[in-house]
Structures are given as C-alpha cells and as structure tokens.
A = this chain, B = another copy of it.
Amino acid sequence: MLIGANHIASHNEELLKKHTSKFAFTASEVGDAESIIQKLIDFQIAIPSWALGTGGTRFGRFAGGGEPRSLEEKIEDVGLLHALNNASGAISLHIPWDIPTDHNAIKALAAQHHLKFDAVNSNTFQDQVNAEHSYRYGSLQNVNKAVRKQAIAHNIEVIQQGIALGSESLTIWLADGSNFPGQLNFRKAYQNTLESLEEIYEALPSNWKLFLEYKCAEPNFYSTTVADWGQSYSYVKKLGDKAQTLVDLGHHLPNANIEQIVSLLLMENKLGGFHFNDSKYGDDDLTAGALKPYQLFLIFNELVEGMDARGMNHAKDLGWMIDASHNIKDPLEDLLQSVEAIMIAYAQALLVDRKALEIAQDENDVVKAQEILQNAFRTDVRALVAEARLRSGAALNPVELYRSLTVRKNLIGERGLKTMATGL
C-alpha cells in the first residue's frame, strides 16, 4: 500500500483551518518559530527494521496482522510512516534478519520511499541455524577464541552489508554478560571484548562510526560486559575516534540521570547516538515519551545545548533511532506516536531561552532556571511540529490519516493475518 500526495492533501485540507489558527497563536507566543520549524523539518528519526512487527515478552506474544514478511515489505512500512510524517526517512537494518539478496534493488526501493539506510546492527545474542558456535556464554567476550572469531566475522559481514547499502555506522549491542557470580572473570571478559572490538574497528571504513551500546541487565541477569555508560566510554576511548557510545533510554538502572550522561558524553565527544523508547520498570521498550515526557525533554535540552556548544548539526551529527517493542499496539501507530513525542521534546528544547538560562545558572537562580525549562516544556508546541509536517508535504495528523485510510486493514489484505516479521 502507498499513501499518495492526494491522500495527504485532502486530509490536510480538512484540518487546515484549525491548524492555521493554532499555529498562528503558537508562533506569536514563541518568537523564533521559523527557525524551529526548519530544524524540525530537517530532523529525521530512523526506524528499526525489527520493530515493524508485534513484539513480545518471554511469556509470549499476541500477534497482530499484516506484518511485513520481507525486507521489501519492511521498507514499504517505513515508507508509509515517512509519507505520513516526513520525519522517518531512514531504516536501520538488523543482520541476519534483513540480509538483502539484491542490494541495488533494495537501494532503489528505499530511494523510492525517500529512505536512507541508517546504522546496521549485528546480532550475536541469538544462535543462527547452522552456526558453528553458540553464543550461550557470550560472543565477543567468550572464553573460547573460536566463538569470538565467529562473532567478529559476523560483525565484519554486517559492515560489508552496510557498505553495500550506503550505511555509515555499525551499532553493536552486546548481550554478553553472566547470570551468576563466578561465571565470568570480569577482567578477562572485558579484555576479550576489547580485543574483539579492536578487530571489528579495524574493519570499519574511514567514514564509518562504531556505536557501542551499554545495558545494565537483560538478557543476562547478574552482569553485562558493557553495562553502563562508563564501561562503554572506557571501551570507545581505547578504540579510537570512530568509536562512540550509543545511549538507549531503557538501559539504565532505576533513577539514573540520563541527561547528565548525555551531556558528559557530548563533552567528551563520545556520544554517537540514541535509541529512543520509554520505560517504567526496566528495558520496557514502550513508546517514546509515553511515561516520562519531561525526561525526554531534559535529554533534548542537553542535546541542543551541547551540540550547539560544539557547533554540531542537530540533524546529521548524531544517530537518532527508535528502539521500541510494540506488544499490544499496531506497530506503525506506535511508531508514529514515538516520532511525534520525540519531535515535541525536540521542539520544546529548541524553545528554551538559552541566554536567560545561562544567566540564571551564573547567578545560581535555581527558581528562575526551573521556570525557564518549565516554560518551554509547558508550551504547547504541537502546532509547530504539525506545521513542519505540513510544509514538507506530510500529514497534519499522521495517526488520524493512518486510521482513516485503514492502512492496517489494507496491509492485512495484502499480506495476510498470520504473517510474522523477523525480529523480536
């Protein structure tokens, strides 16, 4: 299914009057609306190929229908999102779930949908059929050199796939760790992992980045070998300039101050990018902004401040990606909600009166500093985000249009009810 310009146009027409009035008011309140809108237009959030199907937990999965059955259909799904919001102009592939058979054909298809290939992702947390070695006891950390070699080779193959598609970064989420005290020698696990990463790093093209995620727990429940930002930082520092840390919002211990971590990684020039999602208890992988929208805003507040301080390009100099699981919602609707929440947080962060904030900080005027941030956050910026979509040919209300076009019903018609996307 394709969403055409005519669908967008007639949808927008219907909502235009109300939008125009709201936008006019918002713009009058905000001051710098035009520059914010341009930044919103430029801002694109990659969609992970594994998040287009229904997610689940270890207790099971309640399948939805019309899931993409192939890489082609995954690209089509992201194309639908991008047509609706013009903010999802990239797809992040996961190897081996998404190995293209014909790279040129896949690139052409993506181009049709105006999509780029974002970071490619390796998978050494599951055993593949016919794999010689098992990752049961880890991959890059494994005490067995042969297992490490297999995992290194896989990562290098992922880089090759990425090169063929035009990606420029490799994201490594390493599930390696241990379930019980004594299982690992932490030091040796670290050193094995470092050595393995060095080999992978060697294989990176010069214009590539290696993003190293960290995660406090799951699937290992006693230790993780890249467990927190400090550990990721210590690895990427040793690896070199092309290696950076990737922050997934759900990968922290309870109560962690993520925005401070973001600020410090930026300061160290070691922040590579983001996996957006939200959570209450652990790595719940819920819709971005669904539980802690103020935290999302505070993170963007640090990003905007820190990137501006370094003269970075908001849209291009970090990797932005959603990494959520859609257990009980239509994945496409859920992704639209995530993108919207991210855009709102970004817009609010752009609204912060930086000069006034700096003064308040210099004067230790805590009350004022709080007012400045809250003032930005309490502002209703939805009309700015919608206006950005309007100007770039997308829908004023993507979820509403998605529903009125009965997209899911159509996809089920095309693909069937019992399809199942590769992924989690």
Which residues on A are within 8 Å of B, measured CB to CB? 22, 25, 29, 55-60, 62, 125-127, 134-137, 143-144, 175, 178-188, 190-191, 216-219, 221-223, 227-231, 233-234, 253-257, 259-260, 263-264, 266-268, 279-282, 284-287, 289-294, 298, 301-302, 305-306, 309, 325, 327-330, 333-334, 337, 341, 344, 357-358, 360-362, 364, 366-367, 369-374, 377-380, 382, 399, 424
Contacts and interface: CB of A to CB of B under 8 A. Distances in A.
Contact of A366 (B179, B360, B377): B179
Given A216-B281, A281-B255, A328 B366 contact: yes
A182 B373 contact: yes
Contacts of A180: 286-287, 290, 329, 366, 369-370
* Candidate in A137, A228, A367 with the most chain B CB atoms within 10 angstroms: A367
Contacts of A229: 230
A306 B369 contact: no
A183 B374 CA distance: 12
Contacts of A233: 230, 234
A197 to B, nearest CB: 15
A370 B268 contact: no
A36 B260 CA distance: 38
Number of copies: 4
A179 B234 contact: no
Contact of A329 (B358, B366, B377): B366
Nearest to A293: B294
A365 B293 CA distance: 21
A332 to B, nearest CB: 10
B217 A280 contact: yes
A184 B370 CA distance: 10
A30 to B, nearest CB: 11
A172 to B, nearest CB: 15
16 contacts: A58-B58, A60-B125, A179-B327, A180-B287, A187-B263, A187-B267, A217-B284, A219-B327, A221-B285, A229-B230, A234-B264, A253-B255, A290-B370, A292-B294, A293-B377, A380-B380
A287 B234 CA distance: 32
A282 to B, nearest CB: 5
